[in-house]
Amino acid sequence: MLLPDWGEATIHTLRHSYATHLLAMGVNLRQLHLYLGHEEIETTTLYTHLVPFAEEKSLGHIEAIARMTL
């Protein structure tokens, strides 16, 4: 079986993946910031890459709140 050429996995790329997956699972950015041990939350935002599922989930929550306030 041939595997895709994703390049070399490093600690740095694993941290990005970890942050992205936790965000997609619903961990909020503040908690993620604490888990990763960053001094500034802005650093954490650099580690997170929105995945379509997480973005759709967030929009669903926003729409639900909007419906409750109307």
Instruction: Summarize pLDDT for 32-46 with one digit per residue, the tens.
Output: 999 999 999 998 888
Domain count, the chain: 1
| Nearest-angstrom CA–CA distance, 14 and 70 | 42
Say if 3 falls within a structural domain: no
Mean pLDDT rounded to a whole number for the chain: 81
Say if 64 falls within a structural domain: yes
Angle between helix axes 11-24 and 52-69 (nearest 10 degrees) is: 30
pTM of the model: 0.61
Write the single-letter amino acid at 10.
T
Say if 35 falls within a structural domain: yes
More confident residue, 54 or 18: 18
Range of the structural domain that residue 61 is part of: 11-69
pLDDT in tens, 22-32: 888 888 889 99
Say if 1 falls within a structural domain: no
Say if 4 falls within a structural domain: no
- Cβ proximity of 18 and 49 under 8 Å: no
